[in-house]
Structure 1
């Protein structure tokens, strides 16, 4: 495995032969294949990039057909110009006023291809990571949009069947190095690779001031509703947030590569986010990729290639993380289809004012991150 610092010292030919790797089941950027072309004797100064919108998938083409996470951004923000990246030729688009958008067709390697491309200077770039999610019905409704202050990793943990848990345990999921659920690890070296408990955190802190600024800018943005979704809300007796029309809120994102569903696992997600954020975070959205995206961005941030304080995460709800009262869990798992288009629409509607504000007043925000005291 080649560390990124070593990667920067390799020849261009060697860089083409590198690839991404895994650490303890979580994708880490260890090397990047085919991202850089041979440099000419004299290279133009890299372009300072202002804002990048990052989506995770697209259905079919980027425009003109059934939308995915990227299409409304492409069509409404006029991301009309494809930009080929070596190793990822079909993921990046450029729009007016210098806005860039990308869809991670090949996962985090697409991020690497962009960040390591010498044509771009991303040190002052604002990143808006977007996408649809399952939502906790205690926090919000389908179609709602949440600005995150933390992204929490739900992958590396210990698990036993819930039917075999010791008496008093709420479920069979707990932190590696801890002795029961809802406890932080007591052994800082349980992975054999770290020496401080602070290095074991499963929470990626975002810039809370920037998140609050984005929320304040968009909290009154009107969000579309849907007749079928409106009728479905009636089933959520006892869950007032789930019965509200779509709205904008602040709340945390939990990323897990396994697709989980149901009330017991939602209870675990609420507890897990609370545990790793020191009681300051509130679980709202669940998805399968936020944690790996943020791990890669932190890797590049340590190298000075991106600024982690300029990262924003906006997730919109396509479905609930558990079934309505009285509905079997197997009848609701994977039911994000009816709410997807509404969530795609909400994502661009809520995120666009933030993007446009940053672009319109770039001379102000280039050096001064909004939301700082």
Structure 2
């Protein structure tokens, strides 16, 4: 159920094989062109996908200087940077917008991003077995849920537990060769742990509407107040709702991460965003060890007992999670941003040991 609250909010305002691509192993090997001329250095670049996700940052960390970047989304043509070298970019929604915007950003000479920390900051659907509306999750793995084969749900073989199977495999439990090389990204675990440690005790926003929605669930953590957690993100351009689809997201995450990843957030753009950053890292314009991903639950990826998947999808806006999810992007993400800026000498050369 991919970030379904976006629509109402908008209206309201690896080579083949089994190895995972690790950022620690891919910091870029090509030489930076001699003709490159950088302008403003950036300590933190906050990557948002739609206006409300950006606005919670823009309302708090200004004043801002507008930096137009050729090739950004026509809806969001400017990067906003403050005096502390913290910047906010909005890519637009979906794979195409995210990848195109990040390519434009990272290949522009207007900003020096060679030592920048990137914070992906967006809302998502949440697995009620791992979180609730408003929960904020720091991820170590980004998994592309869309790179699969799919059978018509009405024609699934009787001995299969899913209509999805990995490309060029024979059944839903086999691991693919990862030929696309962006099926899964392993973010820097030291950065993810540092971000979690800095934010784990923050007081997150909640609401009466979200409390009422989560009371429909009979189990924790779905029926508990939101918290900062660590678990992983599955991306797809297809928004979905359903218990069986949610179970497949869990299984797919396990398969492609060799049982190291734990699915909890269903989002849209993150694998496309990081693939674009990876291209920029190949000529040392960015450092992939400096990418963090934070997603907050705006609604549930599956129904509560007695509810249909259709009802869960069609009435997502009634779950009351959008306002708390957008607010909690700032509350959970800002401790990392401020620590980097305040202690830049320690962060400049990489994630400091703790």
TM-score interval, smaller chain: 0.7 to 0.9
Q: TM-score, normalised by structure 1?
A: 0.79
User: Cα distance 1:340–1:258, how it changes in 2: closer, same or farther (>3 A)?
Assistant: same
The question of whether the paired residues in 2 share the 8 Å contact of 1:210 and 1:312 is answered with yes
Is 1:111 paired with 2:102? yes
Q: Deviations over 1:4-38 (max 9, x none)?
A: xxxxxxxxxxxxxxxxxxxxxxxxxxxxxxxxxxx
Please give the alpha-carbon distance, in whole angstroms, between the structure 2 residues aligned to 1:310 and 1:112. Answer: 17
Q: Name the structure 2 match of 1:124.
A: 115
Selected match of 1:46 from 17, 26, 39: 39
- Deviation of 1:365 after TM superposition, in Å, equals 0.6
User: Cα distance 1:81–1:348, how it changes in 2: closer, same or farther (>3 A)?
Assistant: same
Is 1:172 paired with 2:195? no
Is 1:299 paired with 2:284? no
Structure 2, unaligned runs of 5 or more:
1-34
- Deviation of 1:146 after TM superposition, in Å, equals 0.1
Q: Name the structure 1 match of 2:61.
A: 77
- Deviation of 1:304 after TM superposition, in Å, equals 1.6
The question of whether the paired residues in 1 share the 8 Å contact of 2:200 and 2:229 is answered with yes
Runs of 4+ in 1 over 6 A off after TM superposition: none
Cα RMSD for the two superposed structures = 1.9
Query: Rg: which structure is higher?
Result: 1
- Deviation of 1:210 after TM superposition, in Å, equals 0.8
The question of whether the paired residues in 2 share the 8 Å contact of 1:73 and 1:79 is answered with no
Structure 1, unaligned runs of 5 or more:
1-41, 59-67, 189-196
Q: TM-score, normalised by structure 2?
A: 0.84
Please give the alpha-carbon distance, in whole angstroms, between the structure 2 residues aligned to 1:346 and 1:82. Answer: 25
The question of whether the paired residues in 1 share the 8 Å contact of 2:134 and 2:227 is answered with yes
* Greater alpha carbon shift after TM alignment, 263-272 vs 332-341: 332-341
- Deviation of 1:44 after TM superposition, in Å, equals 6.4
Is 1:286 paired with 2:266? yes
Please give the alpha-carbon distance, in whole angstroms, between the structure 2 residues aligned to 1:44 and 1:269. Answer: 43
- Deviation of 1:160 after TM superposition, in Å, equals 0.4
Q: Name the structure 1 match of 2:88.
A: 101
- Deviation of 1:222 after TM superposition, in Å, equals 0.3
Please give the alpha-carbon distance, in whole angstroms, between the structure 2 residues aligned to 1:137 and 1:45. Answer: 45
